[in-house]
Structure 1
C-alpha cells in the first residue's frame, strides 16, 4: 500500500553517481554540513544498492532513505534478516507532501522483496516512527561515575592486564570487532557491523567529532595468553577548576566478554590520573557495572530509547525468535500500513528445549481474540525488553481472556535486556 505522491513526484532508486545530491538532502534535512576533512576521514558506508528517494517534478531529489543488510539478534535463536533503515530525510521545502509516507511504504515493499521479515532503526525524532508501526524495543543506559568509585570483587579480575594506546584502526579494528561479537552473544539487538565500511566508521575519529577532547584511545583487557577480553574506545577531555583536575573520561563504546573482564576494564577507567569522572557509552539497562558498583546511587544514570523494531512479515518474524514460557494465545493485531499482518493470529509454542525456551508458530485463525494490540506494541516487545502487561496497564493492549496477558507477557520476556551498541 504505497500512498499517492503529488503530481510529478516519483519514487526512484538512487545510484552512487548521485552521492553528492543524496547527501545534500540529508544535510538540509538534519541541519548540518560536514567539513571536507571529516568527509575525507569517514568512509562512505551507504549501501548504494539499497538507497532510494523521491524525485521532484524537476528531477531533483526531494527526499531520500537507505537501509543496511543486517542480521538482528533475537531472543534465543539465530539472528533474523533485518533491514536497518537509515539516512531518512526530506528537504525542508518539500515537507508536508506525503513523501515520508511513500518512502516508508517503498521501504517495506523492498523488505518483502528481499525476504526481510523485520526492519529496525534509530529514531532521530521519537514521535515520528510509531505511526509507521515501529515500536521502541530497547533502552540504553548511560552513566557518569566518579573517579575512585568502589567495585565489588570479581574472581579472576586481578589476573587480567590492561593495555592503553592511541587508537589505530588498522592495528586495533580486528580486536574491537572480535570482542564486540563475543560480548554480545545471547543479547537481543546486539547488531554486528556487517561490512568493512561500517567497521571502519566505528573507529573513525575526525577532529570535528572530538568536541575539544583528545584523539580516541583504546583501553583493552587481555588474559595471560594475550587474548582480548574487553575494550573501551575513549577520549579524555581536559578540564581544570581552581588548579584541580576535573578531566572527564568519555567512552564512545565498550564491551566485555565476562564479569572479570568488565571489572578489570572499569577498575582501570575509574583510576586514571588527572581525571574526575567517567561517562559511559551506551550500555544495556542490566549492564554488569550496575551490579558491580558498591554504591550505584551517585552515577547520574540517563536512560533513552535505543533501537526501534518493525515487524514486516508478522508470522515469519515471530517464529524466528524463541520464548521464555509456553503459550497458546490468539492476538488481534492492528496494522494499517501492512494489512497482511492485520487480523487474528494464534501463537502456539511447541515442546520446551534443553535451554528452557520454546519455539513458536503463528497461524491465521478465526477464533476469538485473547489479546488485542497494534503492531507497534508487538514490535516493541519483540526483543524481550518491553512488557505486554505494562502496555496493557497504559491502555495499549486489551486483554479479552483472563490469564492471556500474564502468559503472553511471560513468554515474550527475555532474561537479557536488548541493546544495539552503535547508531546507524
Structure 2
C-alpha cells in the first residue's frame, strides 16, 4: 500500500537507532533534546513500534511511532493504534513521506488486530485527508481564586492531603484515572510503565518557572477519592501576590470528591487565578461553578479517530437506541471500508454490521464516521454543514443512536 520515492525505504527502527529517531522528531518540531529530562521522563515509544523512512544516504528522513491503546467507546472498548511522534526532516518535506508513513501505520495496525487508530493533531489540517475525524473536544479553564461552587452533600466530610509529586505514585494515579473515567468514551489508560512514568515526571526543564509539582489527594479515611497534580508560579503586583496555580491533571470518582478537590484548588493562598487541565466539555466542574462568566474558556479539538476495519470497529461499541440504517461510506485510503453497509442494533444496543445492496439512507466519508464514533458529534449537524447527505429523519436516527451520555475526551496527549 505504501509508496516512496526511489532510494527510500520503510524500516522498523531498532533500539540502537533510537537517538536518531528522536533527532528527526526534534528537527521536525524545533525542540532540543535534554538528557536531564530523560532521567525522569523515559522514552515512551515501545521497541517494534518505532518506524521510519530511510533515505538514500542511509539516514532517517521521517519517523513515526505508535502505542497499543485500549480506546473506551460507548458500551465497551476497542484495541487502538495510537499514532504519535510523527515528523519529517525539514529538508525531506514535499516528497510524500508522510503519506507513506500513514499508510504504513494503517497496514501495521490491521496486522496487529487494531481496528481503530487515534491521534492528537499538531496541525489539524493534515489528518482529515487520511480519514481521521475530530471525535472530541476539550476545554481549558482559567478561573479566579475563590470561584464559588454549588454545594454537594458529603464534600465537607472528605479530607485533603498535599505532598510533593513523586515517581512512586504512578500506579496510584493511573488506577484512580482509570476508575474515574470508566464510563467516558475516549478516556484512555496509559498502557505502559513508560507512559505512567511520564504522568508523574516533573523535570525542572519543563517547569517554566513553576515550583516542583505537588500532589493533592482527597480521602475518605484511607480511601483516595480524587487526585490532582498542581504547581504554582510566584508573581507580585502593586497590590500584593498574584500567583498562578496550574493544575496538570485531575481525576475524581464522584461528585463529593470532585467538589472537595476543586474547592481546595480554587482557594490556594497567594493565588489570583487557577488554570485547569484539559477537561471534558461536560466535566462536573463546569456544572458546579455558580458563575461561569468570570471564567475564561478555551475549547480545542481533542482526540481524532480513524476507522480501519469498519465492521470490527462499529460492532465493538453499543448504540443508545435501536437502529436500522444503511450507510454509503467513501474511503479512498482503505477501499475495504467503502460501499454500502447496513447497521442494525437491537434495544440493548448490540450492533450488527453487514454488506448490503439496499439503497443508502446516509452517505458520508469515513472521516465523518470516525468523528461520530465516540458519540460526541452529530450526523444531523454534519448534514446541516453539507458534510453528510441523507434525509433529516435518517440523520436524526443515526445521531441519537450513536450518541454518548457523557462527552468523549482523552485527558492526556499522546
Length-normalised TM-score, structure 1: 0.96
Deviation at 1:390, TM superposition (A): 0.8
Query: What is residue 63 of structure 1 aligned with on the other side?
Result: 62
SS in structure 1 at match of 2:410? coil
Alpha-carbon distance in structure 2 between the residues aligned to 1:362 and 1:290:
37
Match of 1:219 among 193, 209, 216: 216
Query: What is residue 54 of structure 1 aligned with on the other side?
Result: 53
Match of 1:383 among 365, 374, 378: 374
SS in structure 1 at match of 2:138? strand
Alpha-carbon distance in structure 1 between the residues aligned to 2:105 and 2:70:
17
Deviation at 1:194, TM superposition (A): 0.7
C-alpha contact 2:241 2:270 (8 A) present in aligned 1 = yes
Matched, 1:233 2:229: yes
Match of 2:177 among 166, 176, 180: 180
Query: What is residue 23 of structure 2 aligned with on the other side?
Result: 24
Q: In terms of mean alpha carbon deviation, does 38-47 or 112-121 score higher?
A: 38-47
Query: What is residue 140 of structure 1 aligned with on the other side?
Result: 138
Kindly tell me the number of residue pairs found equivalent between the two proteins.
414
**Superposed counterparts of 1:316-395, under 5 Å:** 316-350=312-346, 352-353=347-348, 358-395=349-386
Deviation at 1:326, TM superposition (A): 1.3
Query: What is residue 99 of structure 2 aligned with on the other side?
Result: 101
SS in structure 2 at match of 1:152? coil
Report Cα offsets for 1:365-418 as digits up to 9, x if no partner.
11111100000000011000111111111110001x452111001101111001
Query: What is residue 44 of structure 1 aligned with on the other side?
Result: 43
Query: What is residue 405 of structure 2 aligned with on the other side?
Result: 415
| Structure 2 segments unaligned to the other structure (5+ residues) | none
C-alpha contact 2:171 2:196 (8 A) present in aligned 1 = no
Alpha-carbon distance in structure 1 between the residues aligned to 2:381 and 2:393:
15
Alpha-carbon distance in structure 1 between the residues aligned to 2:266 and 2:392:
50
Alpha-carbon distance in structure 2 between the residues aligned to 1:175 and 1:38:
23
**Superposed counterparts of 1:182-221, under 5 Å:** 182-221=179-218
C-alpha contact 2:158 2:220 (8 A) present in aligned 1 = yes
| Structure 1 segments unaligned to the other structure (5+ residues) | none
SS in structure 2 at match of 1:5? coil
Query: What is residue 78 of structure 2 aligned with on the other side?
Result: 80
Query: What is residue 157 of structure 1 aligned with on the other side?
Result: 155
Alpha-carbon distance in structure 2 between the residues aligned to 1:280 and 1:105:
36
Query: What is residue 406 of structure 1 aligned with on the other side?
Result: 396
Query: What is residue 34 of structure 1 aligned with on the other side?
Result: 33
Alpha-carbon distance in structure 1 between the residues aligned to 2:108 and 2:368:
23
Q: In terms of mean alpha carbon deviation, does 312-321 or 35-44 score higher?
A: 35-44
Alpha-carbon distance in structure 2 between the residues aligned to 1:402 and 1:175:
47
Alpha-carbon distance in structure 1 between the residues aligned to 2:372 and 2:276:
26
Alpha-carbon distance in structure 1 between the residues aligned to 2:250 and 2:128:
30
Query: What is residue 297 of structure 2 aligned with on the other side?
Result: 301
Alpha-carbon distance in structure 1 between the residues aligned to 2:210 and 2:189:
27
C-alpha contact 1:332 1:344 (8 A) present in aligned 2 = yes
Match of 1:267 among 260, 263, 268: 263
